[in-house]
Structure 1
Amino acid sequence: MNHSMASAFQIKQNRSLVTSFILLGFTTDPKLQLLLFIVFTLAYVTTLMSNITLIVVIRRSSQLHTPMYFFIGNLSFLDLWYSSVYTPKVLLNCVSEDKSISFTGCAAQFFVSGGLAYTECYLLAAMAYDRYAAISNPLLYTSAMSQKLCMGMVAASYLSGFANSTLITSRTFALSFCDANVIDDFFCDLPPLVKLSCDVTDSYQMLLYFILTSNVILPSVLILMSYASILAAILKMRSAKGQHKAFSTCAAHLTTVTLYYGSILFIYTRPSSTYVLERDKVISVFYTVVMPMLNPFIYSLRNQEVKEALKRLVKRQTAS
């Protein structure tokens, strides 16, 4: 057996020993772990209740059966599952001495979280186009954004998101981890896994650039183009009241886009050599836990139609 064959055999053998990973989480201090358990529990319960409430209000209120609220309802549905991929495992690690996650479990979490994250990127782009259609030509909005088109855009978002996640998951978990299995993070994310690998090739780096471009950069460009067109349409309006209403309908979505894309671009647009895991996992909390919790409030507290629909629904429930 020559030297190269022996090296390849050793790498394969080492990789086969990695049957599980250890998630370090945020701290090993028991008091801080208890505090984190309380904070994450409150955040998760709030996320579930607020998103479910928003979905129910949209489904039960005929006044909200419009393309805009169809997309908002789908965003809430997506956020329900998105937060559920991470938070239960975080809570378990806070109260358990066993911080391990199986190789298969890690791959499954990586696949589902990636699929949902990429889907949300496309869905936010679809929502930006919806706002463009509503503001640029309000008289033709209903016909332009037909139910068939809206459902197709949501389906395409899921299909594209999970297709890309299948590609990156299959390649990432085919890497050699060389008997290194300690993940300095609270979930199986791309940066710490790349840090653990000892055979990240140029082709894999090219795949990372493709995933970043197709799932983050491209939707970002589409959103910017939509909002440039929206701004041009608003500036043409003669009514100040109409301009204010148009700006207010876009404010919630623009807030979500800025916060979500800002945190993702900060982490994933840098070379792997510049990853600082301690800092990055704090930023990761923002788009994995905080954003799914904030989205329902961003879209409801700033929206008079949603607040009125919620009041009507509460009155009907209390009357019955």
Structure 2
Amino acid sequence: MANGNFTRVTEFILTGVSERPDLQIPLFFVFLVIYGLTVTGNLSIITLSSVDSRLQTPMYFFLRHLAIINLGNSTVIAPKMLVNLLVKKHTTSFYECATQLGGFLVFIVAEIFMLAVMAFDRYVAICNPLRYMVVVSQQACFLLVSLTYLYSFSTAVVVSCCVFSVSYCSPNVINHFYCDTVPLLALSCSDTSFPETVVFVSASTNLIFSITVVVASYFNIILSILRIRSSEGRKRAFSTCASHMTAVSVFYGTLLFMYLQPRNNHSLDTDKMASVFYTLLIPMLNPMIYSLRNKDMKVALRKFLTN
């Protein structure tokens, strides 16, 4: 770092989704509705999959934890963003920013691997149905979920420490609506090559591993479905995977677009729009994607409301 007089940063200023004053109140109500639907939808899945005896299967066990992750991811981001839409000064303290980044990384990495675990679950259910309850036993389910949370927490600690190990000096304006790695490192007044490498290697490794598991699982699933002679059987088998395939396509497509685009084409404003999708919209859409075409969930909801 060059010698000179620098003001150490004790707080950051978030620009938000939009800097236009006339859009703050409309955006507040839009994102309030989105967050309300997110909380309602994911809490419904968590509650129904916990209390209904029909939903005590590995598939719904993983879906329950995906809902927990979606709810956590949105809650780390949305409340602070909603408050900032109502106040003039969008500040966040240094340690609050570090906590938000850590929480975001925990849930985003957990979602990446939970989707891979769910793809593996569907692979076993369709390709090896007779061994399903043996391969995806209760112990295996707890182990897969525990490893997912443990790895995501470890990744969050390592990446957050790397990002906040560099020096931050004035200016302290983050061109984003929450504390994320790329806009944070853009403010550093010291060498960021090491944390940038850690962030890129971590993101790309996690995505490549997870996508490999998903693609391999669905490749074998499609081959198994094509071997089914009856059209009704193929339709039933495909319907069990359609929701997960939709969620995977939207989620991974957004992450790949954001983190693996060429550096010379990297735009923080584009990142903000992509971030809205995977931090706010996808957690809202996932309960709808997994529930609207799911007869068991509909029956469980009617039974729960009746009781």
TM-score (norm 2): 0.95
Structure 1 partner of 2:110: 119
| 1:200, distance to aligned residue in structure 2 (A) | 4.1
Distance 1:208 1:273, change over 3 A: farther
Q: Which runs of 5+ in 1 are unaligned?
A: 1-6
Query: 1:174 aligned to 2:153?
Result: no
| 1:272, distance to aligned residue in structure 2 (A) | 4.1
Structure 2 partner of 1:3: none
Distance in 1 separating the partners of 2:116 and 2:304: 30
Distance in 2 separating the partners of 1:201 and 1:102: 21
CA RMSD of aligned residues (A): 1.5
Structure 2 partner of 1:152: 143
Instruction: Classify the secondary structure of the residue corresponding to 1:17.
Output: coil
Residue identity over aligned pairs, in percent, reads 40
Q: Give the alignment partner of residue 222 of structure 1, picking from 168, 188, 213.
A: 213
Distance in 1 separating the partners of 2:33 and 2:148: 30
More displaced 10-residue stretch of structure 1: 135-144 or 173-182: 173-182
- Amino acid aligned to 1:132: Y
Distance 1:95 1:142, change over 3 A: same
Structure 1 partner of 2:25: 34
Deviations 1:15-39 (A, max 9, x none): x611111000123333310001101
Distance in 2 separating the partners of 1:124 and 1:86: 21
| 1:59, distance to aligned residue in structure 2 (A) | 1.2
- Amino acid aligned to 2:116: A
Instruction: Classify the secondary structure of the residue corresponding to 2:12.
Output: strand
Q: Give the alignment partner of residue 239 of structure 2, picking from 231, 235, 248.
A: 248
Instruction: Classify the secondary structure of the residue corresponding to 1:196.
Output: coil
Q: Please tell me whether the aligned partners of residues 191 and 272 of structure 1 are also in contact (alpha carbons under 8 angstroms).
A: no
Instruction: Classify the secondary structure of the residue corresponding to 2:171.
Output: coil
Q: Give the alignment partner of residue 232 of structure 1, picking from 223, 227, 230.
A: 223
More displaced 10-residue stretch of structure 1: 284-293 or 19-28: 19-28
Aligned runs of 1:17-96 on 2, under 5 Å? 17-96=8-87
| 1:141, distance to aligned residue in structure 2 (A) | 0.9
Q: Give the alignment partner of residue 313 of structure 1, picking from 297, 304, 307.
A: 304
Distance in 2 separating the partners of 1:229 and 1:133: 10
Q: Please tell me whether the aligned partners of residues 181 and 199 of structure 2 are also in contact (alpha carbons under 8 angstroms).
A: no
Q: Please tell me whether the aligned partners of residues 161 and 215 of structure 1 are also in contact (alpha carbons under 8 angstroms).
A: no
Number of corresponding residues: 307
Structure 2 partner of 1:196: 187
Distance 1:201 1:85, change over 3 A: closer
Structure ID, larger Rg: 1
Q: Please tell me whether the aligned partners of residues 194 and 272 of structure 1 are also in contact (alpha carbons under 8 angstroms).
A: no
TM-score (norm 1): 0.92
Q: Please tell me whether the aligned partners of residues 204 and 260 of structure 2 are also in contact (alpha carbons under 8 angstroms).
A: no
- Amino acid aligned to 2:84: N
Q: Give the alignment partner of residue 133 of structure 2, picking from 120, 142, 163.
A: 142
| 1:288, distance to aligned residue in structure 2 (A) | 0.3
Distance in 2 separating the partners of 1:258 and 1:200: 36
Structure 2 partner of 1:187: 178
Aligned runs of 1:2-17 on 2, under 5 Å? 10=4, 14=6, 17=8
Distance in 2 separating the partners of 1:127 and 1:260: 14
More displaced 10-residue stretch of structure 1: 247-256 or 201-210: 201-210
Distance 1:40 1:275, change over 3 A: same
Distance in 2 separating the partners of 1:300 and 1:233: 25
Instruction: Classify the secondary structure of the residue corresponding to 2:97.
Output: helix
More displaced 10-residue stretch of structure 1: 79-88 or 231-240: 231-240
- Amino acid aligned to 2:154: A
Query: 1:105 aligned to 2:96?
Result: yes
Distance 1:166 1:273, change over 3 A: farther
- Amino acid aligned to 2:123: Y
| 1:273, distance to aligned residue in structure 2 (A) | 4.2
| 1:194, distance to aligned residue in structure 2 (A) | 2.4
- Amino acid aligned to 2:271: D
| 1:180, distance to aligned residue in structure 2 (A) | 2.5
More displaced 10-residue stretch of structure 1: 57-66 or 124-133: 57-66
